[in-house]
Amino acid sequence: MKYSELLNIIDLKTKPVNDFAVAGLAYDSRKVKDGFIFFAIKGFKEDGNKYAVKAIESGANAIITDFISAKQFIGEIPNDINIIGVDDVRKVMAQMAFVFCGKPSEKIKLIGITGTNGKTTITYLLKHIFETAGFKCGLIGTIDYLTGASKQESRLTTPDSIEINVMLKEMVDAGIEFCFMEVSSIALVLHRVYGQEFSAGIFTNLTSEHLDLHK
């Protein structure tokens, strides 16, 4: 997919200074390769903008960042590198990942389970019930990521949007019909599931454990 096509599909109205075939997406500069788009995210501990130059050196052809950082990069990085300033980098990353991976949650029944307690238990119960009924199922949660193509030990209850879309694509390619995904409240705040097509959602409960975050 061309960079210009991706911009057009997500309706990001900007003209590329240098169009290219998108080979991948990354928010970690260590994972960037030739033809990648790098998302410079300001996190709680790190500012991804500090690694933009490293990402370019590793082959990134485009940097998606916030408006202020985009202005600061002018004159600091090569003129043939696409720099876009946006309101919310995480939302744009989620939209691009969704499109780049072929809109996988439109091709699978995605069930999200959120709440303070019970997410993991309900996710595994549902997976077992549906598999017993003869359906092929995948799972994304606190313990494992099960895509049909692979089994990975979980790093986050709900991974970032790039990883989610890659895993959902694996499930679609493996012929999986249902995916049961734990959706943590921090994942909702950080737009990790932004733009996903959920077939159903389950809310378990809300206890004081989450009031610090949600007030």
Low-confidence ranges of the chain (pLDDT < 70): none
Compute the CA torsion angle 185, 192, 86, 67 (nearest 10 deg).
Answer: 60
CA dihedral 59, 98, 190, 157 (to 10 degrees): -100
What is the per-residue pLDDT for 136?
97
Q: What is the pLDDT of residues 12-22, one digit of tens each?
A: 988 999 999 99
